[in-house]
Structure 1
């Protein structure tokens, strides 16, 4: 078997505000933005270098806005990523150093929490 996570739904209250945050401030790529009909809008955004995207929109996500907690994204350099996020106006945490990695956290305008992990050197 081969399983790959392709899309993670993110619940938001304002699709345009969230899209602007993820694209302009966080640096995700805007893949698709389609108004399927009067009740469904599908917006797919992808972190740079990722094979997995997020989807925001209307009529597609059933979770409460802000209820997504701790989806983890692997990054190359916690300090550099934090610096870039701060420069783009994202309120990113200090780097949290643990034996299993270095972590930076931030939330979107709805309070969905993201965790960025710089993996420790192996072997």
Structure 2
């Protein structure tokens, strides 16, 4: 069986504000459709990604800003951070987790700076969209076997 993850639905309060934010960060606008009954679907895709996010009206009952653990992967976290900041995102300083395996929820266990021993999977930065949906940028220079 082959299954590909392609879309995550995130809850937002103001669809146009979210659209402006993500397109402003360089996400590709793939769709913006509305129906007469008030359903609105906006799909955007991060640069270089095969997976997209969707937000809109009447798509989820989740509270706006409640998405956590959304990850964007880059081979150069410093450059990605600079570009996101230049585009208007409030991106954290670069950090790694004290345990060195992944990272805890929220800001627990964070240590400033890149991971001292690995260049892949252990270094992060983070930001939120205008509603508070939480994004983590993860640096992966060399992928683990099979990925």
SS of residue in 2 equivalent to 1:89: coil
For residues 40 and 122 of structure 1, the distance between their equivalents in structure 2, rounded to whole angstroms, comes to: 39
* TM-score under structure 2 length normalisation: 0.78
Q: Distance in 2 between matches of 1:104 and 1:33?
A: 29
- Which residue is 2:122 aligned to? 101
2:86 equivalent to 1:87: yes
Cα distance change on mapping 1:122 and 1:53 into 2, 3 Å: closer
What count of residue pairs does the alignment treat as equivalent? 122
Q: Which runs of 5+ in 2 are unaligned?
A: 96-113
* Matching residue of 1:2: 2
Q: Which residue in 2 is equivalent to 1:51?
A: 50
More strand by percentage: 1
Which consecutive aligned stretches of 4+ in structure 1 deviate over 3 angstroms post-superposition? 120-123
Which protein shows a greater Rg?
2
**Any stretches of 5+ residues in structure 1 without a counterpart?**
none
Q: Report deviation, 1:121.
A: 3.7
Quote the offset at 1:27 in angstroms. Answer: 1.1
Flag the 1:4–1:122 CA change in 2: closer, same or farther, 3 A. Answer: closer
The TM-score normalised by the length of structure 1 is 0.92
Larger helix share, 1 or 2: 1
Superposition pairs for residues 14-93 of structure 1, below 5 Å?
A: 14-24=14-24, 26-93=25-92
